[in-house]
Amino acid sequence: MKAQVIEQFGEATEFKTVDLPIPEVIPNHVLIRVLATSVNPVDYKIRGGIVPDIAPDFPAVLHGDVAGIIEKVGEGVNNFQPGDEVYGCAGGVKGMGGALAEYMLADAALIAKKPKSLNMPQAAALPLVSITAWEGLIQRAQIRSGQTVLIYGGTGGVGHIAVQLAKSRGAKVYATVSNSQKAEIARQLGADEVINYRKQSVESFVNQHTDGKGFDIVFDTVGDDNLQNAFQAAALNGIVISTVSLSTQDLTLLHVKGLSLHLVFMLIPMLHNLGRSNHGEILTKLAQLVDEGKIRPLLDSKSFKFNQIADAHHYAELGKAVGKVTLVV
């Protein structure tokens, strides 16, 4: 099979097309004929050598997100059969081949049947970001109807799903954005109020929207020092969720406000073979929400072919994409 691989860490130009053996099907796994994938920040961080400890062995086939058709099923797989259209985040990290190839071997626990209402690129845009948002809002924060939820990065990968998930659970949703174009997108996704963080301080919008009390749940998808803003925006005894907290922080506000902090790292089941079925179950529930019209992926207007992988990574790293960057076979 044809695959896009890297043989060392570096820039996006490190990708090269090679021939690799089609993976052998093993018990409890399926072989997927890959039709689409999407770019997540972890993909270009692995490629760039920023997180070498979680990288696959060279020559490395990257990318976790996949949408495609099952070609073969292994012993012990009873819930899928050849011909099923599926999606998932199922590889591209240490010990697991990724989706930048014509075929991908995937643990059946990590995938689900694709939403019927989506095409392959749309489905491939969902898994990593949706699982992350679901784990944070539903499994960790246990979001309830009537709560106020502030989502930093309301049109980002995780953020745009978090906005819709929170809305589907009956929360009042506030989303931060950087410009008027993204503000309109956030409203279309279901945000009740949109905040331009470049024009308004945390203190100002907390006073405006909560009478100074703060938000019940704050979902930080920005990380680094923005965690301090999240602590400031949270209500007393509130909940802060972060997906990017590889930093040193002052926990004073966390303490004096009695906050709970939840850190979500959705790759743990893949890296440690721990609780993988949770991801398949999330994706199954997500597909139902998608087909009910409650969740939709936001895709950037630019789409790439697999042999344009270097261009896709470069474009995603620029940070100018509005929505997920996808690749199709």
Q: Name which residue leads in pLDDT, 224 or 96.
A: 96
Q: What pLDDT shows up at residue 223?
A: 80
pLDDT surpassing 90 at residue 274: yes
Radius of gyration of the chain (CA): 20
Section 122-141 average pLDDT: 98
Q: What pLDDT shows up at residue 165?
A: 97
Q: What pLDDT shows up at residue 15?
A: 97
Q: What pLDDT shows up at residue 312?
A: 97
- Categorize the per-residue pLDDT at 225 as very low, low, confident or very high, splitting at 50, 70 and 90: confident
- Tell me how crowded residue 18 is: count the other CB atoms within 10 A of its CB: 14
Residues β-bridged to residue 72? 31
Section 1-21 average pLDDT: 97
Q: What pLDDT shows up at residue 325?
A: 97
Measure the CA–CA gap between 69 and 82, rounded to whole angstroms.
7
Q: Structure pTM? A: 0.96
pLDDT surpassing 90 at residue 247: no
Section 87-106 average pLDDT: 97
Q: What pLDDT shows up at residue 329?
A: 87
* Token pair 């405006």 in the structure block, residue: 208
Measure the CA–CA gap between 270 and 55, rounded to whole angstroms.
12
Phi, psi of 289 (to 5 degrees): -65, -40
Question: What is the overall mean pLDDT for the chain?
Answer: 96
Residues β-bridged to residue 265? none
Q: What pLDDT shows up at residue 324?
A: 96
Q: Name the percent of the chain lying above pLDDT 70.
A: 100
- Categorize the per-residue pLDDT at 224 as very low, low, confident or very high, splitting at 50, 70 and 90: confident
Q: What pLDDT shows up at residue 328?
A: 96
∠ CA 12-15-16, nearest 5°, is 155
pLDDT tens for 190-216 read 999 999 999 999 999 999 999 999 999
pLDDT surpassing 90 at residue 307: yes
pLDDT surpassing 90 at residue 69: yes
Q: What pLDDT shows up at residue 319?
A: 85
Section 36-62 average pLDDT: 96
- Categorize the per-residue pLDDT at 118 as very low, low, confident or very high, splitting at 50, 70 and 90: very high
- Categorize the per-residue pLDDT at 315 as very low, low, confident or very high, splitting at 50, 70 and 90: very high
